[in-house]
Structure 1
Amino acid sequence: MPAPTPRSTAVALLDKVLGEGRLLSELNAPLSRLAPADRARALRLAGDTLRGLDRADRLLSRQLRKTPQLHVMNILRLGTVELCMGGDAHGVVDELVSLVGAHPRYKRLRGLVNAILRQMAGDAGKPWKDLRVPRMPGWLREPLVSAWGNGAVSAMEKAQFAGAPVDLTLKPGQDPGDWAHHLGAVALPTGSLRLRESGQISALPGFSDGAWWVQDAAAAMPARILAPRTGERVLDLCAAPGGKTLQLAAAGASVTSLDISEKRMERVTENLARTNLSADIVVADGLGYQGGPFDAVLIDAPCSATGTIRRHPDLPYAKDGSDFGALIALQAQMLDHALTLLAPGGRLVFCTCSLLPDEGEVQVEEALARHGGLRTDITALELPGVDPAWRTEEGGLRLRPDYWPDLGGMDGFYIAVLRRE
């Protein structure tokens, strides 16, 4: 068996996502045989192909009389996207033709793949830039249009197609200007840094010293809004992958970091060690946890993750919306339970990385109706870089991928601060 390459691994990833409905985050086995830089390239190739899938299929439909088997189709898709995005024709075509030729079942299609990809490297690929921005699937697009309107959803799709730059959160006390210079980054209005070029993250200045960690600018805002104080007891509920735990600990809070996934919490522990921060790690089901009382609770509740499609383009292909009802019910349960863990006068930040109001605005509206004396704290949302227009009627904050279009967008999030009278 030939040694895996970033391209062959990207095709294997596409086969799993599009053939089995798997998420890229679950697919460690195909990536494990690659060096870190090649692993990153394989994920980038797979991600670019998923973002451009609609365009690739439109171009390929003009060349194919019959759709081939999924593996071959994914080879054609990857090659089409890479060529149309400026990839080296010789390298792309030769490797992908060799890849299909080495497969005992599909080697007879080597000539077809060669012919089509060479056409894509020529005139057949030229219409790429004129095709419409790929749309989200109907099961997701329809409720979003109902919530935000067609124009806003089209702008979100444009942001998703562009992909997501890499954002960093600095430890308190670091000079953003200095680090922006060292890292070739841009300082964002809310305090995060945005890399102009990502490259291999672990090789960047400050990584091994723990001066910063990777965290989307929107994902960094719930902990900033919670505004932990030195010595406060704070529970980070559903904590993995841990960016918010690091923020809370770096602010001097006494943090309990809880998540149900032991494997994901291992990564949180590793990042705490790298950044020389500490937190009490608890692997447990949040609904059964009886610790506290806490001065503050941050709950990033399990959700559809529809706000992260710009960085996770596999989501629309690995999900179909059938789990939304169960997730919404779980969020309400977790919010109600989290309120029982608060000390008198404590505050709770509820957030989800979802674009669906049922997982954000509606959750908080219904929580306010269920719990007498509960209110939203809108003054907590008054932070640098937070546009007042992002506030919602019930007193939360709505972030969307189409915000900051000139800066590269942000993940979709909903955030609210709840206090008892």
Structure 2
Amino acid sequence: MAKSASDTQGIAARRAALRLLDGVLDEQRLLSEMGGEAGPMGRLPAPERARAQRLATETLRHLERADKLLGPHLRKRPALPVHNILRLGTYEICADGAAPHGVINALVEIARKGRHSQHQAGMINAVLRRIAEAGPEAWAALPPPKMPKWLRKQMVADYGKQAVEAMEAAHANGAPLDLSLKADAPEWAERLGGTRLPTGSLRLAEAGQVSALPGYAEGAWWVQDAAAALPVKVLAPQAGEKVLDLCAAPGGKTMQLAAAGAEVTALDLSESRMARVRENLARTRLSARCVVQDALEFSEGGFDAILLDAPCTATGTIRRHPDLPHAKDGGDFPALFALQERLIDHALTLLAPGGRLVFCTCSLLPDEGEIQVEDALKRHPGLRSDSAALAVPGVDPAWRTPEGGLRLRPDYWADLGGMDGFYIACLRQA
């Protein structure tokens, strides 16, 4: 009997999800690097691309849970392509609510056509049937997955075991969709079925296709995690101020600055990433001068305020990007720390007298936050950390750090759905 269209599409999406898993776990590539037409998802229709992305993302999020359930049924660790088929099937059966027989049949068919998995199709069938017998109950009884050892060891040293476990629980829960509104319009919460957060962002529990939501086409809002929206609130741009967004892409903070009425220069090294900034500005009908250049070579000065969202490890975004700790091993982190130091020093030379610099990173590592600011204050006599700028509505004073910054963590606002990990500090020159 011929397969239905839904069967064929389900197999195509699962096959693409498996290629994404192999890319992260074997090639140490980020999911964001594999989204083009030449990537694992190829020319899949948009709904199937979204499904493949979701399946890969959630399997990576719960990889440790899947491995714990699979362990008793495996005599030895299988080859990675086979292991990933089993992991995907375990996630779908135990957490995604998919019908076990459909999952098993699709994955066995995929296995039979795979060069590295065809001889293991029978084993895959048998193991996944045992997983289906255990069901969601066995899955739910497992603790949240731990961060990989290379990252967890450092995190426990910095925050303590209890705090790290709370962060891991937040990572396992994933992230809702947060929106920044172009104008403070309370009716959008009702129109979109969202909740206004204490800091003003609008949070949606079930968003669906973003571009189909009310207000998208007219540019009334943009997607931006609530934590990522706080650096601009700390900067507090005023209408007419000359403001530089030093590492601007994809443009969320640029749009915040422009919406406040500032004269914004958005700078980024990548032409393709700057194209996204221009697209977002066009959709929201906001304006900024866009410059493609290396931030360290940009020499125009006299800015009243500068926002430096520095390149970083992005460890604060794991709840949205669970591929990151599997694709990275920390080996390139020292180079990032050094780059951040150089960017701070250079940004200070671009400020007008009495100007202010907000330095921020979407990182959980103190090396990219507290320590960077401590070191900058030592390097620059007369530079001070403006703790008064941190008094933003909705920001808990307990989040402040001794050197005068804000430390945000994924487990904060746990009852509201958490937030990205971030560090933010406002520096002023004498």
Q: What displacement does 1:87 show?
A: 2.1
Report whether the alignment pairs 1:330 with 2:351.
no
The code of the aligned residue for 1:154 comes to: E
| Gap change, CA 1:97 and 1:320, over 3 Å in 2 | same
Say which of 40, 49, 53 aligns to 1:39. Answer: 49
Trace 1:7-406 onto structure 2 (pairs within 5 A): 7-28=14-35, 29-85=39-95, 86-123=97-134, 126-172=137-183, 174-176=184-186, 178-406=187-415
Q: Check the 8 A contact 2:377/2:384 in 1, yes or no.
A: yes
The code of the aligned residue for 2:19 comes to: A
Cα shift readout 1:164-214 (whole Å, capped 9, x = no counterpart):
111000002x413x1111111111100001111021111111111100000
Cα shift readout 1:340-370 (whole Å, capped 9, x = no counterpart):
0001111100000111111100100111111
Residue in structure 2 matched with residue 413 of structure 1 by the alignment: 422
Q: Check the 8 A contact 1:396/1:415 in 2, yes or no.
A: yes
The code of the aligned residue for 2:55 comes to: L
> How many Å separate the matches in 1 of 2:198 and 2:326?
33
> How many Å separate the matches in 2 of 1:169 and 1:129?
34
Cα shift readout 1:57-104 (whole Å, capped 9, x = no counterpart):
111111111222211111110110111112221321221111112224
Q: What displacement does 1:215 show?
A: 0.4
Q: Which runs of 4+ in 1 moved over 6 A?
A: none
Q: What displacement does 1:402 show?
A: 0.5
Indicate the SS of the match to 1:383.
Answer: coil
Moved more, 95-104 or 275-284: 95-104
Q: What displacement does 1:144 show?
A: 1.2
Indicate the SS of the match to 1:406.
Answer: helix
The code of the aligned residue for 1:253 comes to: A
Indicate the SS of the match to 2:427.
Answer: strand
User: What is the TM-score when the length of structure 1 is the normalising length?
Assistant: 0.97
Moved more, 8-17 or 82-91: 82-91
> How many Å separate the matches in 1 of 2:300 and 2:50?
39
Structure 2 alignment gaps of length 5 or more? 1-7
Q: Check the 8 A contact 1:218/1:411 in 2, yes or no.
A: yes
| Gap change, CA 1:104 and 1:319, over 3 Å in 2 | closer
> How many Å separate the matches in 2 of 1:15 and 1:306?
21
The code of the aligned residue for 1:169 comes to: S
Q: What displacement does 1:105 show?
A: 4.3
> How many Å separate the matches in 1 of 2:365 and 2:288?
32
> How many Å separate the matches in 1 of 2:269 and 2:108?
44
Q: What displacement does 1:19 show?
A: 0.6
The code of the aligned residue for 2:122 comes to: G
The code of the aligned residue for 1:98 comes to: E
* Identity value in percent: 64
Indicate the SS of the match to 2:73.
Answer: coil
Q: What displacement does 1:125 show?
A: 5.6
Q: What displacement does 1:118 show?
A: 1.6
| Gap change, CA 1:62 and 1:125, over 3 Å in 2 | farther
> How many Å separate the matches in 1 of 2:98 and 2:13?
14
The code of the aligned residue for 1:106 comes to: S
Q: What displacement does 1:35 show?
A: 2.4
Q: What displacement does 1:241 show?
A: 1.3
The code of the aligned residue for 2:228 comes to: A
The code of the aligned residue for 2:68 comes to: R
User: What is the TM-score when the length of structure 2 is the normalising length?
Assistant: 0.95
Q: Check the 8 A contact 2:93/2:135 in 1, yes or no.
A: no
Q: What displacement does 1:112 show?
A: 1.4
Indicate the SS of the match to 1:122.
Answer: helix
Structure 1 alignment gaps of length 5 or more? none
